[in-house]
């Protein structure tokens, strides 16, 4: 099974460097790495070029900076992928060395994987960014939130991982799924043009076609660097898109991935 790791990013090259450094340390390397870039400037391109020169199998899928278009950026990354199995992370995460191997180990034909993302403190994040090295992170790392989830243990994972049909705890920053399933639901809804539940809406459509959500704990770990939340303080008008999908039990968006497939085809051949 060929794997493609999609790393989303926007104008935080120091964090992206740490993410790609942790990719380079994987015990099982992905077959392709796609940096899905929502309009970053030249410093981000320099980071990508540096790691490509170092041997990572990198594509840089960039789009114009026209506001928060994460859903579109993810779709363009999926369209550019040639792998049959997609791993999705944000470009401000440090991946456990077994991250790719764990996702592959947990993959099944009828499900997608939701991994955990223990969050790092502001102080630890600052130290990592200053060092430029993705240090080993575990349950004893100072300032770590959700510390219990940071322990990697296949035995504990078998005991505490669960298959669910709910949206609670869904986070697009640590997922894996079959590309064929993403194509079937037409990827992310690009009407999400600001911060919103685009990841949960995508997952809702996966659930509606019968793809089960497997919430993996104690494996497939990725640690999130600290940053200020982008969530709006008031009610989010984009919530209505998720509500409509749930009410109609929709399985496909008309505003998604298909629009990018033809353009991406030359890159995948």
pLDDT at site 262: 83
Cβ-contact 171, 119 below 8 angstroms:
no
DSSP 55-90: T--EEEEE----S--HHHHHHHHHHH---SEEEEEE
The per-residue pLDDT string of the chain (269 residues; one tens digit each, 9 = 90 and over) reads 999 999 999 999 999 999 999 999 999 999 999 999 999 999 999 999 999 999 999 999 999 999 999 999 999 999 999 999 999 999 999 999 999 999 999 999 999 999 999 999 999 999 999 999 988 898 889 888 888 889 999 999 999 999 988 998 899 999 999 999 999 999 999 999 999 999 999 999 999 999 999 999 999 999 999 987 766 667 889 999 999 999 999 999 999 999 999 877 656 54
For the chain, list the strands marked E by DSSP.
3-9, 32-37, 58-62, 85-90, 93-95, 111-114, 162-164, 174-178, 212-215, 222-224
The tally of domains found in the chain comes to: 1
Give the separation between CA 182 and CA 169, rounded to whole angstroms.
Answer: 20
Phi, psi of 194 (to 5 degrees): -155, 175
Pairing of strands 212-215, 111-114: parallel
Cβ–Cβ < 8 Å for 236, 200: no
Report the CATH number that the domain containing residue 66 is assigned in CATH.
3.90.550.10
Can you tell me whether residue 240 is helix, strand or coil?
helix
Number of helices and strands in the chain (H, E): 10, 10
CB 36 within 8 A of CB 77: yes
* Containing structural domain, residue 91: 3-268
Distance between CA 25 and CA 21 in Å, rounded? Answer: 7
Residue-wise DSSP of 109-145: TTEEEE---PBPPHHHHHHHHHHTS-----TTSTT-S
The pLDDT of residue 268 is 55
Rg (CA), the chain: 17
> Which pLDDT score, from 0 to 100, does residue 267 have?
61
Question: Do the beta carbons of residue 106 and residue 132 sit within 8 Å?
Answer: no
Cα 191 to Cα 24: distance, rounded to the nearest angstrom: 34
Amino acid 115: pLDDT: 95
Note the pLDDT of residue 14: 98
Residue with tokens 């995948």: 268
- Phi first, then psi, for residue 155 (nearest 5°) are -65, -50
């Amino acid at each position: 099974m060929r794997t493609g790791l999609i790393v989303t990013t926007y104008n935080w090259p120091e964090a992206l460097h740490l993410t790609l450094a942790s990719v380079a340390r994987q015990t099982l390397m992905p077959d392709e790495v796609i940096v899905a870039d929502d309009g970053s400037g030249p410093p981000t391109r320099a980071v990508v070029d540096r790691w490509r020169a170092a041997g990572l199998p990198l594509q840089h899928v960039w789009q114009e900076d026209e506001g928060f278009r994460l859903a579109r950026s993810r779709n363009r990354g999926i369209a550019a992928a040639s792998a049959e199995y997609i791993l999705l992370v944000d470009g401000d995460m440090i991946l456990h060395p077994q991250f790719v191997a764990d996702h592959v180990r947990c993959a099944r034909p009828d499900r997608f994987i939701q991994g955990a993302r223990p969050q790092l403190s502001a102080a630890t994040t600052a130290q990592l960014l200053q060092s430029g090295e993705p240090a080993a992170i575990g349950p004893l790392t100072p300032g770590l939130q959700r510390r219990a989830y940071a322990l990697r243990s296949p035995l504990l994972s078998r005991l505490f991982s669960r298959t669910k049909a709910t949206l609670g705890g869904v986070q697009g920053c640590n997922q894996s799924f079959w590309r064929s399933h993403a194509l079937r639901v037409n990827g992310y809804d690009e009407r999400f043009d600001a911060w919103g539940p685009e990841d949960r809406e995508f997952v809702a459509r996966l659930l509606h076609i019968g793809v089960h959500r497997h919430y993996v704990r104690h494996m497939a770990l990725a640690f999130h660097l600290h940053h200020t939340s982008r969530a709006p303080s008031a009610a989010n008008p984009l919530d209505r898109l998720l509500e409509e999908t749930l009410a109609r039990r929709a399985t496909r968006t008309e505003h998604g991935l298909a629009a990018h497939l033809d353009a991406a085809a030359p890159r995948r051949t």
